[in-house]
Amino acid sequence: DAKTTQPPSMDCAEGRAANLPCNHSTISGNEYVYWYRQIHSQGPQYIIHGLKNNETNEMASLIITEDRKSSTLILPHATLRDTAVYYCIVRVGGMNRDDKIIFGKGTRLHILP
Amino acid sequence: EAQVTQNPRYLITVTGKKLTVTCSQNMNHEYMSWYRQDPGLGLRQIYYSMNVEVTDKGDVPEGYKVSRKEKRNFPLILESPSPNQTSLYFCASSLTGTFSYEQYFGPGTRLTVT
């Protein structure tokens, strides 16, 4: 089973901020939160990741709650090209022998013109 | 250009005919992985490799084999393909180490087994 829970779909108006939630209530102290997205049937694309601090890059911001049990990916000004399936995963950092990765079903984000 | 390549991109085959899908990365990554993607099921990990000669089962390893003889290559082998292995397959790679790193994905291989 996936270690994360996401809503199956969301809509967002073009130009507005898209806020995608993710629940990871069983996250361990050494697990990072990662976000990827997949446009059509292309290979998934990395967006951002974090451990406990909020992170921002040129694509998005990641807000992680203080207890680390949930997070939100923010696309500040959504465009039609942001229409994709967004995956939230948790993954252990470091040289871990058991580094199986579980993606789950993700959130299908529709950007509305 | 840093990339993960997969070949072939499209393959139609018949039940029982052995096939290999190749995966290669040019980023000197230790970690490599294979996923399959089916409608409504998201991405599911088949096998992964932490480094050369080290492979482990993911969530759905049945019916697949892998090998990691060189760091850059991680082929996926279907010894006796069956129709339920019709799927979209992705290879991915990343660094490992003290910190955690993002995965880079290949373009995908669409396999149809009749």
pLDDT in tens, B91-111: 999 887 556 678 899 999 999
Q: Which amino acid is at B70?
A: E
- Residues whose CB falls within 8 Å of the CB of residue B38, separated by 6 or more in sequence, listed in order: B44, B87, B88
Mutate to test the interface with A, among B9, B93, B102 (most CBs of A within 10 A): B102
pLDDT reported for residue A90: 87
What span, in angstroms and rounded, lies between the C-alpha atoms of B53 and B11?
Answer: 27
Contact yes or no for B17/B81 (Cβ under 8 A): yes
Which chain B residue has the Cα nearest residue A32? B100
Strand B76-78 to B31-38 pairing: unpaired
pLDDT band at residue B2 using 50, 70 and 90 as cut-offs = confident
List, for residues B52-89, the tens digit of each pLDDT value.
Answer: 999 999 989 999 999 999 999 999 999 999 999 999 99
Q: Which amino acid is at A36?
A: Y
Contact yes or no for B1/B102 (Cβ under 8 A): no
Contact A103 B33 (CB under 8 A): no
Size of interface A-B (CB pairs under 8 A): 79
Interface residue B97 vs chain A (CB under 8 A): yes
What span, in angstroms and rounded, lies between the C-alpha atoms of B41 and B45?
Answer: 11
For tokens 């998005």, what's the residue? A60
pLDDT reported for residue A97: 57
Contact A101 B41 (CB under 8 A): no
- Residues whose CB falls within 8 Å of the CB of residue B62, separated by 6 or more in sequence, listed in order: none
pLDDT reported for residue A63: 97
What span, in angstroms and rounded, lies between the C-alpha atoms of B104 and B113?
Answer: 27
Contact yes or no for A60/A79 (Cβ under 8 A): no
Q: What is the largest CA-CA distance in chain B?
A: 45
Which of the given ranges, A24-38, B41-55, B64-78, has the highest pLDDT on average? B64-78
- A86: its two tokens: 């967004």
What span, in angstroms and rounded, lies between the C-alpha atoms of A49 and A57?
Answer: 10
Interface residue A49 vs chain B (CB under 8 A): yes
Give me the residues paired with residue A12 across strands: A111
pLDDT band at residue B33 using 50, 70 and 90 as cut-offs = very high
List, for residues A81-106, the tens digit of each pLDDT value.
Answer: 999 999 999 877 555 556 677 788 89
Residues 19-48 of B with CB under 8 A from A: 31, 33, 35, 37, 40-45, 48
What does pLDDT average to over chain A?
A: 90
- B82: its two tokens: 């069956």
Looking from the CA of B31 toward its CB, the CA atoms found within 13 Å total 23
